[in-house]
């Protein structure tokens, strides 16, 4: 089976670079599944989970929007921010979520609503990706205990 090279970059760093079987990305018009030899396209991404499938393995990332360029042999994701599931500090994301929710509830007069809503969406995606990863990691042990 052929593979497709996937690069995830942010202004800060190269987050990922490897050959994968499939890229599943949060496009602004919906989830996009990209296989090798896909037709070229450029699309905007929204905050969401990005999944890379590699054989039986799956890597999961939280991305905060950006752009994706697809070529038949290559996918380049330029994200605002991107963290692999393992890298996500869950307590930090939870604190960010609570902070954003508190702001939206209190509505201080100088509040930048769009910025707070963006922070809320980023924190929710980070929590979802981190918790899914944690569940997957603890699953084999739970099975043993059964």
Residues that bind ligand ATP (CB under 6 A): 12, 64, 81, 83, 87-89, 92-93, 96, 119, 122, 126
Task: For ligand ATP, give the closer residue by CB, 37 or 113.
Answer: 113
Q: How far is the CB of 145 from ligand ATP (least distance, A)?
A: 29
Q: How far is the CB of 81 from ligand ATP (least distance, A)?
A: 4
Task: For ligand ATP, give the closer residue by CB, 41 or 115.
Answer: 115
Distance between CA atoms of 69 and 8, rounded to whole angstroms? 11
Q: How far is the CB of 59 from ligand ATP (least distance, A)?
A: 16
Task: For ligand ATP, give the closer residue by CB, 27 or 118.
Answer: 118
57 neighbors 40 (Cβ within 8 angstroms): no
Task: For ligand ATP, give the closer residue by CB, 70 or 96.
Answer: 96
Distance between CA atoms of 67 and 28, rounded to whole angstroms? 10
Task: For ligand ATP, give the closer residue by CB, 91 or 144.
Answer: 91
- Cα dist from 94 to 8, 70, 123, 129, whole Å: 24, 33, 7, 12
Q: How far is the CB of 17 from ligand ATP (least distance, A)?
A: 17
Distance between CA atoms of 75 and 72, rounded to whole angstroms? 8
Strands 4-9 and 74-79: parallel
Q: How far is the CB of 13 from ligand ATP (least distance, A)?
A: 8
Collapsed DSSP state (helix, strand, coil) of residue 11: coil
Q: What are the two backbone dihedrals, phi and then psi, of residue 37, each rounded to the nearest 5 degrees? A: 70, 20
């Amino acid at each position: 089976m052929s593979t497709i090279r996937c690069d995830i970059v942010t202004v800060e760093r190269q987050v990922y670079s490897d050959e994968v079987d499939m890229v599943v990305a949060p496009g602004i018009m919906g989830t996009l599944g990209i296989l090798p030899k896909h037709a070229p396209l450029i699309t905007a991404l929204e905050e969401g989970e990005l999944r890379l499938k590699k054989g039986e393995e799956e890597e999961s990332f939280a991305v905060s929007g950006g752009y994706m360029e697809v070529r038949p042999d290559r996918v380049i994701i330029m994200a605002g921010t991107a963290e692999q599931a393992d890298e996500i500090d869950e307590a930090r994301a939870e604190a960010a979520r609570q902070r954003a929710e508190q702001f939206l509830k209190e509505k201080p007069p100088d509040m930048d609503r769009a910025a707070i809503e963006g922070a809320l969406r980023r924190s929710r995606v980070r929590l979802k990706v981190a918790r899914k990863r944690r569940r997957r990691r603890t699953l084999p042990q739970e099975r043993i205990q059964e």
